[in-house]
Amino acid sequence: MRDRAFCEEKRNKRYSRKPAPEGHAQNRIKNMKKVLFIDRDGTIVLEPENLQLDSLDKLEFYPKAFQYLAKIANELDYELAMVTNQDGLGTDSFPEDTFWPTQNFILRAFENEGVLFDDIFVDRSFPEDNAPTRKPRTGMLTKYIDNPNYDLANSFVLGDRLTDVELAKNLGAKAIFMNLTDGVGSTEIASKREELDETIVLQTTDWKTIYEFLKLEARSASITRKTHETDIYINLNLDGTGKSKIDTGIAFFDHMLDQISRHGQMDLEILVKGDLEVDEHHTIEDTAIALGEVFAKALGNKLGIERYGFCLPMDDCLAQVAIDFGGRNWLIWETEFKREMVGKMPTEMFFHFFKSFSDGAKANINIKAEGDNEHHKIEAIFKAFAKAIKVAVKRDTEKMILPSTKGML
């Protein structure tokens, strides 16, 4: 028990705070605190084969956890709380004197890297006990619930089990799932597996990816554009995975827009009702204008972006697309189409699409393509366009500066 007492004493010493001035206390209440609820085994240390970390010989730290958890602690505005289930701690199957030396060593190691946990919660029950304090239940974390000082909606639970994901759901927080499969513990959740997908905002086993996700603001935007000719809704997530839901009423146009989503690795929803009984012109042109505008909106302040993008993909045609999200619209278009239609899309509208996108996004675009197959030629252009965008919107977390000598884009 001496080790446990030592741990508690060190914790109280490390995490004690000086009383804030009276005015600061009021500001603190106004500024709700976000929390990272971090699992231990399988998240910041590797979980041993027998699932019980009861000796230093079994201790192995999770790759990159020191480096990037330290950056999170020092650069970002989150409280850190360790939340861990330790099955049967204090019983014959898991004596306390085998737990605390390892626990203390882990805390000291992270403290040496500048990572201090504001709170540590350890549940000692077995799964079959169904204890209210055992993850995914929230009995250990009541201080955060219905507390106006905490912003749980913008807090995260980091863990490698579905119990961690369900804990996030039960808290009203979001989950960063550090496993590529459902993993151990899936029998302990009360939710249906598919119900947890909405809670998972990131699934990765890489701490660098977690740091970048937490540091970089989400770049998503939506737009609704209504005229006498068209009714358009677009939702864009620049940092998505390539999911798309597209319906413009023109099948070939849908296919081309899907290329932007898939090859640009961005989530894109486009729903259009246009006056197709008249012709395709308004639907294609207005969609491009709205798409450009939603890109400009999602890019926001443009800090850290590459700004420029280019690509030279090969199909049976060669297409070259260069783009600059520099705030000035311009289009160079050097390609010709011999057919009047590809699918049910007039080839003359390809130019109009990119010109309208350039106007809406305030982007400079240069497009060249050559080849014989008209279908392949335009598809290669859209794929190259998507790849160019992907390169241009990429952000560098180490260089969050504006890529311009003018000081504005």
Query: pLDDT tens digit string along 269-303?
Result: 999 999 999 999 999 999 999 999 999 998 887 76
Q: What pLDDT score does 364 carry? A: 95
Q: How far apart are CA 191 and CA 169, in angstroms?
A: 9
Distances, alpha carbon 33 to alpha carbons 148, 329, 335, 358, 388, in Å: 9, 41, 54, 40, 38
What is the sign, positive or negative, of the torsion defined by CA atoms of 296, 300, 301, 306? negative
Query: What distance lies between CA 217 and its chain's CA centroid?
Result: 9
Bridge partners for 342 per DSSP: 345
- Give the fold, CATH level 3, of 220-393: Ribosomal Protein S5; domain 2 (3.30.230)
Q: What pLDDT score does 185 carry? A: 73
Looking up tokens 């989530």, which residue turns up? 267
Catalytic residue among 39, 54, 239, 258: 39
Query: What distance lies between CA 165 and its chain's CA centroid?
Result: 15
Do 94 and 52 touch, CB atoms closer than 8 A? yes
Q: Is the pTM of this model over 0.75?
A: no
Distances, alpha carbon 20 to alpha carbons 11, 25, 28, 187, 271, in Å: 20, 6, 9, 45, 52
Distances, alpha carbon 258 to alpha carbons 270, 280, 363, in Å: 10, 18, 20
Domain positions in the chain? 2-215, 220-393
| Number of residues that make up the chain | 409
Bridge partners for 341 per DSSP: 346
Q: How far apart are CA 48 and CA 50, in angstroms?
A: 6
Picking from 280, 264, 295, 281, the residue whose alpha carbon sits closest to that of residue 360 is 295
Q: How far apart are CA 310 and CA 4, in angstroms?
A: 58
Strands (E) across 178-334 are located at 200-203, 220-226, 230-237, 244-247, 267-274, 308-311, 318-324, 330-334
20-29 pLDDT tens trace: 444 444 444 4
Same fold? 2-215, 220-393: no
Contacts with 263 (C-beta within 8 Å, 6 or more apart), sequence order: 242, 382, 383, 386, 387, 390
Distances, alpha carbon 200 to alpha carbons 56, 150, 159, in Å: 32, 20, 11
Walk along the chain (409 residues) in steps of 10 and give the mean pLDDT of each run: 47 41 45 94 94 94 97 93 97 95 97 97 96 97 96 96 97 95 82 92 94 82 95 93 95 96 94 95 97 92 71 73 92 95 94 96 95 92 93 76 62
Q: How far apart are CA 345 and CA 250, in angstroms?
A: 7
Active-site residue 41, yes or no? Answer: yes
Catalytic residue among 3, 41, 164, 286: 41
Q: Which CATH architecture has domain 2-215?
A: 3-Layer(aba) Sandwich (3.40)
DSSP string, 196-239: GTTTEEEE-S-HHHHHHHHHSPP-EEEEEEE-SSEEEEEEEETT
